[in-house]
Amino acid sequence: MKLKIIVDECVDFRIFKDGKFDGYDIIFISKEHSGITDLEVINLAEKESAIIITEDKDFGEWVFSHHRRIGVIFLRFSSNDLNLIKISLFNVIQKHQNELVNYFTVISPNKLRMRNL
State the pLDDT at residue 68: 85
Average confidence (pLDDT) over 21-37 = 94
| pLDDT higher than 80, residue 46 | yes
Q: What is the pLDDT of residues 54-94, one digit of tens each?
A: 999 999 999 998 888 899 999 999 877 899 999 999 999 99
pLDDT surpassing 90 at residue 2: no
Task: Tell me what percent of the residues of the chain surpass a pLDDT of 70.
Answer: 99
**Nearest Cα residue to 117 out of 47, 63, 46:** 63
CA 99 to chain centre: 13
In the predicted structure, residue 1 carries a pLDDT above the cut 70: no
pLDDT at residue number 67? 84
**Burial annotation 66-105 (CB, 10 A radius, 16+ → b, else e):** eebebbbbbbeeeeeeeeebbebbeebbeeebeebbebbb
List of domains in the chain: 4-116 (3.40.50)
